[in-house]
Amino acid sequence: MRTRLLSGTAAALILGALLVPTGAQAATTHPAPVLDVRAHGSGAGTAVASGYGEPGTRLRVEAGRTAGGRWLEIDYQVQETGYWCGPAATRIALSARTAPPSQAALAAQLGTTQAGTDHIGQITRVLNARLGTGWYETKEMPNDPPTQAQRGLLWHDIVFDIDRNHPLVANIVAPPGNQPPGYPPGQTIYHYFTVFGYDAANRTVLIADPASFGGHQIYWLSFDQLATLIPPKGYSA
């Protein structure tokens, strides 16, 4: 248990690399491409990796820093089923600290069914079990819109965790009119994705989205929008 402070996408090409599905052939002839986030901007809506959505597609993102921001090295992978966003987001978060297990192994450990992963607390439990620590805590955001205290804690958690090499996993609800780039505009999407970077100057966060809606895998999202997407769910940090 840690002490917490309670205060207060446009398409982009990955140059020289093609995202390919995992598997024996992919592993031997097409290693996961490596992406340098610094080649792209960090404004809200900026796509860092986009255009590919094949289930199991992998991408390794290199860690980096700017004057006001930081992002972690991760092994990104598109979710392998339509209901494995929880396992896929958990896998991405684990990859910043250890060799991650398969999505199937995580789905079994999380208790994920065709209805999805029920609660963010299941993500927290599995992250801690896999890492052998008690680092992650479940943070609920029941108020919609969130209170200023909840917003302040969310930003603190993002900076605190990422500065210590721990991505966050967020459980979001994205209704029409308030959706990240590429999401089906006429549907309310219940989803999990991974937050693995931030830019304090632009007040943006870097998202690894396992759904790859519209082919958007890695993109910058405004912190303000993230804070409105999480209620009434929560996040692991």
Give residue 140's pLDDT: 97
Domain 28-236 classified CATH 3.90.70.10? yes
Indicate if the pLDDT at residue 32 is higher than 60.
Answer: yes
Average pLDDT, the chain: 86
Tens digit of each residue's pLDDT (9 = 90 or more) over 38-70? 777 788 878 887 776 789 889 999 999 999 999
- pTM score, two decimals? 0.85
Mean pLDDT of 69-98: 97
Where b means 16+ CB within 10 Å and e means fewer, 113-140 reads eeebbebbebbbbbbeebeeeebbbbbb
pLDDT of residue 31: 66
Distance, in Å, from the CA atom of 111 to the CA atom of 171, rounded to the nearest integer, reads 16
Residue 234's pLDDT is 98
Average pLDDT over residues 144-151: 96
Indicate whether 152 pLDDT > 60: yes
Q: What is the pLDDT of residues 153-163, one digit of tens each?
A: 999 999 999 99
Cβ count near 196 (within 10 Å)? 31
Answer yes or no: is pLDDT of 111 > 60: yes
Q: What pLDDT, on the 0 to 100 scale, is given for residue 95?
A: 98
Pairwise pLDDT comparison (4 vs 147), residue with the higher score: 147
Kindly report the length of the chain. 237
pLDDT of residue 231: 98
Under the banding of pLDDT at 50, 70 and 90, the label for residue 100 is very high
What is the model's pLDDT at position 205? Answer: 98
Residue in 49, 52, 53 with CA at minimum distance from that of residue 35: 49
Q: What is the pLDDT of residue 83?
A: 97
